[in-house]
Amino acid sequence: MTNLSIEAITLIMIGGIFVGVLTGFPLAFVVGSVGLIVGYFLLGPQAFEILYGRLYSLSLNYPLLAVPLFTFMGVVLQKSGIADGLFDALYLWLGGFRGGLAVSTLIFGTILAACLGVITASVTMLTLIALNPMLKRGYDKAIATGCVCAGGTLGILIPPSVMLVIYGPMAQVSVGKLFMAAIFPGLLLSVLYSAYVAIRCGLNPALGPAVPKEDRNVPFLVKSKMLLYSLVPPLLLIVSVLGTIFFGIAPPTEAASVGAFAAVVLAILYRKFSWKMLAGTALDTMRVAAFVLLIGCLSFAFVGVFISVGCADVVSRVILAAPGGRWGAFLMVMIVVFMLGMFIDWIGIVFIMVPILAPIGPALGFDPLWFGMMICVNLQMSFMTPPFAVAIFVCRGTAAPELGVTMTDIIRGVIPFVALIVVGLFLCTIFPDIIMWLPGISWRPGTATFACRNPRRGALQEAPRRSSSRRRHGHTLRLNGASSR
């Protein structure tokens, strides 16, 4: 086997993962086994040193502490139910419009996205809270389930996002900058989704009929009070996390701890706190964090072997040799990420492929932050593209049987939203400031500086600032002895 070419070894390692995943084995064990077996035959005992070193370095990676903290914050919000009244308020305000309940679902999902950051929790909440009212009001099943899946998946993009927390260390990009960069792309997708629903239901009222006036006959002051009261918890969580990052008070990991503490305080103030809820939250948090870190450690070890034997260079050469110059290579990266999302969990893609693909962006002349955010937006589609479509399966499994929702209904519903993500990627390519503008603003008490990045040149032009300002927006990462920001 050691006489095989590097190209053949690359195919064996990548193909081994696909075959293992398709056989039904858990991704973590598949990736770890392929890395261990191939590494031993190619490198001998040195493979164990590489695997151990990678496992150890990732397990001590400081920014990844934000994963359980953000998960805890989101689960507290979900289990306490302090955000449930928000949909009822939006129902009263927008229900009178055609497609108003579907748009309310998307707005509700957007607000939840800034508080939860966990796909299964977001989709589950939207299915339980929003799907039944829409279908009872005569909404088309495809439109209703499509909005639930699309709105729920925004939680993995709009910060605080677990995906961004993981992507940062893997690509050696500041997590704080990623959080700022993700806000406008996430809001852009939300606006595209809402505009699509409003236009389609406006053209065909049968798809999303308006709620009768007698069912929403609530005084203006009453429904205004409901909306303001229900917006307080999510807004406080958003400010506690993103505010501390943007204003340079704390980096993402510490901001995650502030958010977790704020979620508990809100649950107590809204009289939703109980020791049973806290115990269930802690258990769910441990499950999610253990799942992420198990896949992460074994995937990171696999990548160590993959890079050590030269397979990463093969992947880079293939992509850089794509016809059409650097934009052709960029398109190939987008297609590869999209195809992988159909078969592999996003966690595996980030841990396995990002360390391999991230260096390609600067090699093509793209800014690493813009390039990384395009990959993260692309991964939005992975939750809605079968056969591995988490949002579809969560929606189908959570929907009450009496609603009669089928897999066909959900798949038909998500297809337009997948197309809208492609539109969003196209807009972010044409107008890169959608991604780059907000991270280019550095705020400090009494002053504000602006940075202008050109992702097509990979250049950064900014006003002089103190080095301590940079440290406030991200972590110094150490992976395998390498230090980067």
- Do 109 and 207 lie in one domain? The reply is yes
Radius of gyration of the chain (CA): 23
pLDDT in tens, 211-253: 887 767 778 888 888 888 888 888 888 888 888 888 778 888 8
Domain shared by 155 and 81, yes or no: yes
Task: Give, in order, the Cα–Cα distances in Å from 271 to each of 79, 214, 264, 410.
Answer: 12, 32, 11, 36
Within a domain: 325: yes
Give the position of tokens 């239901």: 201
Across the chain, mean pLDDT equals: 83
Question: Nearest Cα to 260, choosing from 6, 439, 49, 76?
Answer: 76
Q: Is the pTM of this model over 0.75?
A: yes
pLDDT score of 191 more than 90: yes
- For residue 39, how many C-alpha atoms fall within 13 Å in the half-sphere facing its CB? 23
Same domain assignment for residues 396 and 444: no
- CA atoms within a 13 Å half-sphere pointing along the CA-CB vector of 14: 17
Q: Are residues 212 and 350 in the same domain?
A: yes
Contact present, 78 and 121 (Cβ < 8 Å): yes
Structure tokens at 6: 């590097």
Confidence class for position 181, pLDDT limits 50, 70, 90: very high
Looking at the DSSP assignment, which residues form a beta bridge with residue 441? 450
Strand order in 459-462's β-sheet?
441-444, 447-454, 459-462
The Cα 366–Cα 330 span in angstroms is 9
Q: How far apart are CA 84 and CA 107, in angstroms?
A: 13
Query: Which of 103-121 are b and which e, b meaning 16 or more Cβ less than 10 Å from the residue's Cβ?
Result: bbbbbbbbbbbbbbbbbbb
Predicted confidence at residue 479, as pLDDT, reads: 37
CA–CA distance from 77 to each of 112, 122, 125, 155, 325 (Å)?
9, 10, 10, 13, 47
Q: What integer pLDDT is reported at residue 474 of this predicted model?
A: 38
Backbone torsions φ then ψ of 325, nearest 5 degrees: 70, -150
Q: In this structure, what token pair is assigned to residue 410?
A: 């959900």
Domain check: are 463 and 405 in the same one? no
Range of the domain at 411: 6-439
Which carries the bigger pLDDT value, residue 121 or residue 17? 17
Residue 13 lies in a domain: yes
Q: What is the pLDDT of residue 74?
A: 81
**1 occurs within a structural domain:** no
Please indicate, yes or no, if residue 206 is contained in any of the structural domains: yes
Calculate what percentage of the chain has a pLDDT beyond 90.
26
Residues 178, 215 within the same domain: yes
- Of the pLDDT bands very low, low, confident and very high (cuts 50, 70, 90), residue 2 is low
Q: Which tens digit of pLDDT belongs to each residue from 414-472?
A: 999 999 999 999 999 999 999 999 888 754 444 333 344 445 444 433 333 333 333 33
Both 381 and 448 in a single domain?
no
DSSP string, 332-364: HHHHHHHHHHTTS-HHHHHHHHHHHHTTHHHHH
Map tokens 């053949």 to a residue: 8
- Indicate the SS3 state at residue 482: strand
Question: Has residue 405 got a pLDDT over 80?
Answer: yes
Query: Tell me: the pLDDT tens digits for 46-86?
Result: 888 888 887 777 777 788 888 888 888 888 887 877 777 78
Residues 362 and 477 in one domain: no
Q: Are residues 464 and 403 in the same domain?
A: no
Q: Is 85 a member of any domain?
A: yes
Number of domains in the chain: 2
Ranges 25-39, 93-107, 191-205, 334-348, most confident: 191-205
d(Cα 417, Cα 383) in Å, to the nearest integer? 11
In a domain, residue 326? The reply is yes
- Reported as half-sphere exposure (CB side, CA atoms, 13 A), residue 108 has a value of 32
**Tens of pLDDT, residues 115-173:** 877 777 788 888 888 898 899 888 999 999 999 999 999 988 998 888 898 899 888 89
Closest Cα partner for 377 from 414, 347, 422, 342?
Answer: 422
pLDDT tens for 354-391 read 888 999 999 899 999 999 999 999 999 999 998 888 89
